[in-house]
Structure 1
Amino acid sequence: MNVPASEKGLPSIGDYYSATQLRADRWSALRECVESLRLKGVDGRSGQRLVQTAEKLFQSLAPIESYWAFPGHAAFEHLRRLLETRNIDDLSISVRRVARALTSGAYRRRHIPLGADEIDSEDYEDESAISPEARALGRPYFEVMIVDSVNEHQERFLRNALHRARRPEDPFHYEPVVVPSVEDALIGILFNHNVQAVVVRPGLVLKSHNELPLLKKYLDTLGTEGEVEHITPSEYGPEACRLIARMRPELDAYLVTDRSAEEIAGLDLGRCRRVFYNQEDFMELHLNILRGVGARFKTPFFTALKEYSRQPTGVFHAMPISRGKSITRSHWIQDMGAFYGPNIFLAETSATSGGLDSLLEPRGPIKEAQDMAARAFGSKQTFFATNGTSTCNKIVVQALCKPGDIVLVDRDCHKSHHYGMVLAGAHVVYMDSYPLHQYSMYGAVPLREIKHQLLKLKAAGKLDKVRMVLLTNCTFDGIVYNVQRVMEECLAIKRDLIFLWDEAWFAFARFNPTYRQRTAMDVANTLRECLRTPETAEAWEKQQKELEGADDETILNTRLVPPPDARVRAYGTQSTHKTLTSLRQGSMIHVNDQDFKGEVEQAFHEAYMTHTSTSPNYQIIASLDVGRRQVELEGFEFTQRQVESAMSIRRAIATHPLLLKYFKVITAGDMIPEEYRESGVSSYYETDQGWTDIANSWTTDEFVLDPTRVTLAVGGTGWDGDTFKTKILMDKYGIQINKTSRNTVLFMTNIGTTRSSVAYLIEVLVEIAKELDELLDDASKMEKRSFENRVSALVEHVPPLPDFSHFHPAFRYGDDTPEGDIRAAFFLAYDEEKCDYIPLDDKLQTRLEDGEELVSTSFIIPYPPGFPILVPGQVISPEILSFMRALDVSEIHGFRADLGLRVFTKEALKGFSCREP
Structure 2
Amino acid sequence: MSAPQKNAGLEFHYNTTELRQETWNRLKVTAAKHYEREQKGLHQRETEATIAACFDILEPVERYWAYPGKATVEELRAILASNDAFLFMRAVSHVVRGIISESYRRRLASRHVPINDLVLSSSIPPTSDDSERNYFEVLVVDNLHPEHEVALRDEMRSQQDPKGTSIYDVIVAPSFEDALLAVILNPNIQCVVIRYGFPVKSDSPTKLLGPHVTALEEIDVNAKTGVSRSLALGSFLHKIRPEIDLYLVTDAGVEEASVKGSRHFRRIFYRNEDYLELHLSICRGIRERYHTPFFNALIEFSKRPTGVFHAMPLSRGNSVYKTHWIKDMGDFYGKNIFLAETSATTGGLDSLLNPTGPLKEAQERAAKAFGAMFTYFVTNGTSTANKIVQLALLKPGDIVLIDRDCHKSHHYGIMLSGGCPVYLDAYPLREYSIYGGVPLLEIKRTLLRFKREGKLDRVRMLVLTNSTFDGLIYDPMRVMQELLAIKPDLIFLWDEAWFGFAHFHHMYRRRAAMSSAKRLNKYLRSDAYREFKTPTDFSQDDDTLLSQPWFPDPDRIKIRVYATHSTHKTLSSLRQGSMIHIYDECFYTRTESFFNEAYMTHTSTSPNYQILASLDVARRQAELEGYELVQKSIEMAMIVRETLKTQPLLKRYFSCLGPGELIPSEFRPSGFEHFFKAETGWVSAEPAWQEDEFVLDPTRITLYIGRTGIDGDTFRKTYLMDKFGIQVNKTSRNTILMMTNIGSNRSAIAFLISVLIKIAKMIRNLQHDLTPQKHRALTLRIQSLTEDLPPLPHFSGFHPFFQAEGEGPAGDMRRAYYLAYDRENCAYEPLCEELVARVRQGTELVSTTFVTPYPPGFPILVPGQVVSPEILEFLLALDVKEIHGYNAELGLKVFRAEALNAEALNAEALNAETLNAEALNTGESASGSGNLQPVKAVTAGESGDAAEPIAAKPNTKRPSRKRPRPSQPSGT
Give the TM interval when normalised to the shorter protein: over 0.9
Q: CA deviation at 1:543?
A: 4.4
Aligned to 1:824: 815
Instruction: Give the Cα–Cα distance (whole angstroms) in 2 for the partners of residues 345 and 115 of structure 1.
Output: 52
1:202-257: per-residue Cα shift (whole Å, max 9, x none)?
1321111222433222222x464654343335522111111111110001011111
Tell me if 1:702 matches 2:696. Answer: no
- The answer to whether 1:185 aligns with 2:176 is no
Structure 1 residues 613 and 828, CA gap change in structure 2 (3 angstroms): same
- The range that moved more, 227-236 or 377-386, is 227-236
* Distance across 2 between alignment mates of 1:10 and 1:586: 45
Aligned to 1:101: 98
Go from structure 1 to structure 2 and tell me whether the alpha carbon gap of 1:107 and 1:224 turns closer, same or farther (over 3 Å shift): farther
Residue 118 of structure 1: CA displacement? Answer: 4.2
Of 440, 450, 467, which aligns to 2:460? Answer: 467
Matching residue of 2:3: none
Residue in structure 2 matched with residue 216 of structure 1 by the alignment: 210
Structure 2 Cα separation of the partners of residues 291 and 766 of structure 1: 50
Residue 871 of structure 1: aligned partner: 862
- Residue in 2 aligned with 1:575? 566
Q: Does the 8 A contact of 1:508 with 1:639 survive in 2?
A: yes
TM-score by length of 1: 0.95
Distance 1:147 1:527, change over 3 A: same
Percentage identity across aligned positions? 50
Note the aligned Cα RMSD (angstroms): 1.8
Name which of 779, 785, 796 aligns with 2:787: 796
Q: 350, 353, 360: which is aligned to 1:357?
A: 350
User: Partner residue of 1:632?
Assistant: 623
Note if contact 2:846-2:894 (Cα within 8 Å) is conserved in structure 1: yes
Instruction: From 558, 561, 565, give the equivalent of 2:551.
Output: 561
In structure 1, what is the Cα distance between the partners aligned to 2:252 and 2:281? Answer: 21
Q: C-alpha separation between the residues in 1 aligned to 2:610 and 2:859?
A: 33
Report the alpha carbon displacement of residue 11 of structure 1 after superposing the two structures with TM: 6.9
Amino acid of the structure 2 residue aligned with 1:155: E
Q: Matched residue of 2:260: which SS? A: coil
Matched position secondary structure for 1:507: coil
1:487 aligns with 2:477: no
Is 1:143 aligned with 2:137? yes
Q: Where in structure 1 are there 5+ consecutive unaligned residues?
A: 1-8, 125-129
CA contact (8 A) 1:480 1:706 kept: yes
Give 1:637 deviation, angstroms: 0.3
- Say if 1:836 and 1:902, in contact at 8 Å, map to a contact too: yes
SS in 1 for 2:171: strand
Q: 2:429 aligned with 1:436, yes or no?
A: yes
The 3-state SS of whatever aligns with 1:499 is: strand
1:75 is paired with a residue whose SS is helix
In 2, Cα distance between equivalents of 1:352 and 1:385: 17
Task: Give the secondary-structure state (helix, strand or coil) at the position aligned to 1:267.
Answer: helix
> Take 2:895 and 2:353, find their aligned partners in 1: how far apart are those partners?
41
Query: Shift in Å at residue 57 of structure 1?
Result: 1.2
After superposition, give the CA deviation of every residue in 1:873-895 in whole Å (9 maximum; x if it has no partner): 00111111121222232122111
Q: Decide whether the 8 Å contact of 1:433 with 1:443 is kept in 2.
A: yes
Q: Which amino acid aligns with 2:80?
A: L
- 1:46-125 to 2 correspondence within 5 Å? 46-111=43-108, 114-116=115-117, 118-122=120-124
- Matched residue, 1:197: 191
Task: Report the 3-state secondary structure (helix = DSSP H, G, I; strand = E; otherwise coil) of the residue aligned with 2:64.
Answer: coil
The answer as to 2:960 corresponding to 1:915 is: yes
**Residue number among 804, 809, 812 corresponding to 2:803 in the alignment:** 812
8 A Cα contact 2:433 2:732, kept in partner: yes
Q: Letter of the 1:507 partner, please give it.
A: G
Matches of 1:857 and 1:92, distance apart in 2:
74
Q: Is the 8 A contact 2:227 2:250 kept in 1?
A: no
CA distance in 1, matches of 2:666, 2:437: 13
| C-alpha distance in structure 2 between counterparts of 1:528 and 1:430, whole Å | 28
User: Map of 1:251-330 to 2, 5 A cutoff?
Assistant: 251-268=244-261, 270-330=263-323
Name the stretch that deviates more: 628-637 or 162-171.
162-171
Cα deviation, 1:752-808, whole Å, max 9, x if unaligned, reads 111121121111111211222222223223222222211111111110100001101
1:844 corresponds to 2:846: no
| Secondary structure in structure 2 of the residue aligned to 1:115 | helix
**Structure 2 residue aligned with 1:153:** 147
Whether contact under 8 Å (2:58, 2:73) holds in the other structure is no
What's the secondary structure of 1:156's corresponding residue?
helix
Larger Rg: 2
Moved more, 862-871 or 509-518: 862-871
1:24 and 1:14 map into 2 onto residues whose CA distance is 13
- The separation in 2 between residues aligned to 1:104 and 1:498, in whole angstroms, is 49
Q: Deviations over 1:322-341 (max 9, x none)?
A: 11111121122111111111
* Stretch of structure 1 that moved more, 716-725 or 579-588: 716-725
- Secondary structure at the counterpart of residue 267 of structure 2: strand
User: CA-to-partner distance for each residue in 1:14-41, whole Å, 9 max, x for gaps?
Assistant: 6101112111111111112212223331
Matching residue of 1:5: none
**Displacement, 1:537?**
2.6
Aligned position for 1:529? 522
Contact preservation (8 Å) 1:441, 1:865: no
Q: What one-letter code is carried by the residue in structure 2 that aligns with 1:502?
A: D
Instruction: Quote the offset at 1:110 in angstroms.
Output: 2.3
State the Cα distance separating 1:44 from its structure 2 match.
4.9
Q: How many aligned residue pairs are there?
A: 897
Tell me the residue number matched to 1:127: none
Matches of 2:250 and 2:216, distance apart in 1: 27
Compute the displacement of 1:683 (Å): 1.1
**1:389 to 2:382 alignment:** yes
- For the 8 Å contact 1:582–1:623, the answer to whether it is kept is yes
**d(CA) in 2 for partners of 1:82 and 1:864?**
59
Give the 5 Å matches for 1:477-556: 477-540=470-533, 542-544=534-536, 547=537, 549-556=539-546
- Whether the aligned pair in 1 keeps the contact of 2:139 and 2:172 (CA below 8 Å) is yes
1:668 aligns with 2:665: no
Q: How far apart are residue 268 of structure 1 and its match? A: 4.7
Task: Note if contact 2:669-2:691 (Cα within 8 Å) is conserved in structure 1.
Answer: yes
Cα deviation, 1:158-190, whole Å, max 9, x if unaligned, reads 112112212235331000011111111111001
Residue 734 of structure 1: how far off its partner (Å): 1.4
Deviation at 1:389, TM superposition (A): 0.3
Q: 2:634 aligns to what?
A: 643
Q: Describe the SS at the equivalent of 1:330.
A: coil
How far is the alpha carbon of 1:913 from its aligned partner?
Answer: 3.5
Name the amino acid aligned to 1:215: L
TM-score by length of 2: 0.90
Q: What CA distance in whole angstroms lies between the structure 2 residues aligned with 1:268 and 1:400?
A: 38
Is the contact between residue 242 and residue 268 of structure 1 (CA under 8 Å) also seen in structure 2?
A: no
Distance change >3 Å, CA 508–CA 79, structure 1 → 2: same
Are the aligned partners of 1:386 and 1:587 in contact in 2 as well (CA < 8 Å)? yes
Per the alignment, do residues 864 and 166 of structure 1 end up closer, same or farther by CA in structure 2, a change over 3 Å counting?
closer
Q: Secondary structure at the match of 2:377?
A: strand
Residue of 601, 609, 617 corresponding to 1:618:
609
Q: 1:787 to 1:362 in 2, by over 3 A?
A: same
Q: In 1, are the aligned partners of 2:8 and 2:54 still within 8 Å (CA)? A: no
**1:892 matched residue in structure 2:** 883
Letter in 2 for 1:784: H
Q: Map Cα deviations across residues 499-524 of structure 1 (whole Å, 9 max, x no partner).
A: 00000000000001011011110011
| Code of the aligned partner of 2:633 | Q
Q: Work out the CA distance in 2 between the residues paired with 1:501 and 1:330.
A: 48
Work out whether 1:335 is the aligned partner of 2:332: no
Bigger mean CA offset, 68-77 vs 106-115 = 106-115
